Amino acid sequence: MRSEPLSRRAVLRGIAAGTASAILPPFVLAADSANASRRPAPAARRFRSKAVDGAIDAVSAKLRDPELAWLFSNCLPNTLDTTVTFGSFEGKPDTVVVTGDIPAMWLRDSSAQVWPYLQFIREDDHLARLIEGIIRRQTRCILTDPYANAFMPNLQAPVPLEWSRHDHTQMKPGVGERKWEVDSLCYPVRLAHRYWKETGDASPFDAHWTTAMHSIVETFKTQQRKASRGPYSFQRASTSPYDTLSEDGFGNLARPAGLIYSGFRPSDDACIYPLNIPGNFFAVRTLERIEEMLTEIGHDTAAARDVRQLRDEIGAALAEHARFHHSTPGEIYAYEIDGYGNAIFMDDANVPSLLAMPYLETCSMDDPTYQATRKFVLSDGNPYFFRGSAAEGIGGPHIGQDMIWPMAIIMRALTSRDEKEQVECLRWLKSTHAGTGFMHESFNKDDPRKFTRAWFAWANTLFGELILTLEKNAPGVLAQV
């Protein structure tokens, strides 16, 4: 009997069945005292930023709760401490950022993992060069394959991640996994745009970067699928339907409506309906940023005009097709649609999500449709909203029933102005780390000792971002925990 190939999903489900991660992180999970630092020793840290370390000391000193301060000091620097490799390529900065326990660089994760550090780059030139290296590396990744979601540290590597080795798709050297996800091309633009705004440095935005931006725009256009299904297809031998695409690898049918088709969600799970609404909103915001940068940096008004036309077309399609009437909350945003009038009413924990739309600046927090949608996704009407004795929050099919993602709890706090709600979120996060001092990918709603991924750097730095945001905008919340 031929056994099923190892898959990321199988690994994570196996971890969730136990009480600890099967892949140990490069930092200590047990210490002599409850509040001893869980960071690597200074000499063992992958990258050191005086600005980030200074912020840790300054903010921790303001936190009344010692456990909250401990979590913050462990989590905020976790990406820098454990996941980055800073070097050079052709005489320019080059930075690899792996996710943690998976030795590959996701375009989405690598952008999000360093996002909280951007507020410090004006005072830390060494950190700014690290971020520049990520932008340059992501440019090379996009030029390698705009349909790939993950890349190997060696962009010439002939072998991808273990679970991708038998995928039926046009795999190229350096690609770790080739799941087409709209947001994979959005996150690098978000990072580049913020870097430019913070520093005024346009040096990473050279001819290679401009070519990569044109590739993003052309990929979005192609995946509107107006004339054909396009060149991308993907199939994987798997017992999970979320790991492969139907219809000969092109995904479930949808009517062209001006929106971008996506094979997979940000969770790396296959879309049920290929028109993912939060992903398309993110694409509109991305095109706005590309248009601005091509205009102000590249002085290419013709290309910028082409980008604006595409942005307007997708925006108009969202205005026409994204809202649906739900029997309970009324008019809300659907999670996925097929253009034939069918929609999926749910939300997933990974970002972009419906919950996270204001965080990604794709809608206003005061948008009435968003507020109705938020109320829905944080209710039992959302099939992936789980409420247990340990906490309540959003999960998703990637890990499955009863598994709450700390990322979604963090996002709930970041998209709220209700101090009571924010305090509740902090208390859940503080009580569900299972003594590790770090956030996890997911935990069981009734037993946080059952969790996935002890080393998931994005969730850690996102928690750090939450504390930094609250300290700046709502310090009274931190005083109540």
Query: pLDDT per residue over 223-233, tens digit each?
Result: 999 999 999 99
356, 378 Cβ separation under 8 angstroms: no
Beta partners for residue 387, in sequence order: 392
Bridge-based pairing state of the strands 92-97 and 84-89:
antiparallel
Instruction: Kindly report the CATH number assigned to the domain that includes residue 79.
Output: 1.50.10.10
Asked whether residue 1 is assigned to any structural domain, the reply reads: no
CA–CA separation, 105 and 99 (whole Å): 6
Name the phi and psi angles at 394, rounded to 5: -95, 140
Asked if the model's pLDDT at residue 450 lies above 70, the reply is yes
Element (H, E) at 199: helix 187-199
Asked if the model's pLDDT at residue 32 lies above 70, the reply is no
Asked whether residue 152 is assigned to any structural domain, the reply reads: yes
Q: In this structure, what token pair is assigned to residue 273?
A: 């309906």
Asked whether residue 23 is assigned to any structural domain, the reply reads: yes
Element (H, E) at 326: strand 323-326
Asked whether residue 125 is assigned to any structural domain, the reply reads: yes
Asked whether residue 2 is assigned to any structural domain, the reply reads: no
3-state SS assignment for residue 50:
helix
pLDDT band for 12, please (50, 70, 90 cuts): low
Q: What percent of the chain has pLDDT over 70?
A: 93
Q: Is the dihedral of CA 319, 320, 325, 326 positive or negative?
A: negative
CA–CA separation, 329 and 331 (whole Å): 7
Name the phi and psi angles at 172, rounded to 5: -120, 155
Instruction: Specify the DSSP class assigned to residue 62.
Output: T
Asked if the model's pLDDT at residue 202 lies above 50, the reply is yes
Q: How many angstroms separate the Cα of 254 from the Cα of each of 198, 226, 228, 247, 316?
A: 40, 11, 12, 11, 18
Asked whether residue 371 is assigned to any structural domain, the reply reads: yes
Nearest to 190 by CA among 284, 299, 81: 284
pLDDT band for 328, please (50, 70, 90 cuts): confident
Q: Is the dihedral of CA 301, 360, 73, 62 positive or negative?
A: positive
Helix pair 277-296, 301-321: axis angle to 10 deg: 160
Determine the distance from the C-alpha atom of residue 290 to the mean position of all C-alpha atoms in its chain, rounded to a whole number: 19
CA–CA separation, 93 and 136 (whole Å): 7
Number of domains in the chain: 1
Domain that holds residue 176: 8-479
Average pLDDT for residues 96-123, to the nearest whole number? Answer: 98
pLDDT score, position 29: 53
Asked whether residue 420 is assigned to any structural domain, the reply reads: yes
Asked if the model's pLDDT at residue 38 lies above 60, the reply is yes
Strands (E), 180-313: 275-276
pLDDT band for 4, please (50, 70, 90 cuts): very low
Rg over CA atoms, the chain: 21
pLDDT score, position 11: 54
Tens digits of residue pLDDT in 70-93:
999 999 999 999 999 999 999 999
CA–CA separation, 260 and 257 (whole Å): 8
Asked if the model's pLDDT at residue 407 lies above 80, the reply is yes
CA–CA separation, 114 and 43 (whole Å): 21
Average pLDDT for residues 319-339, to the nearest whole number? Answer: 96
Asked whether residue 41 is assigned to any structural domain, the reply reads: yes
Asked if the model's pLDDT at residue 393 lies above 80, the reply is yes
Q: What percent of the chain has pLDDT over 90?
A: 92
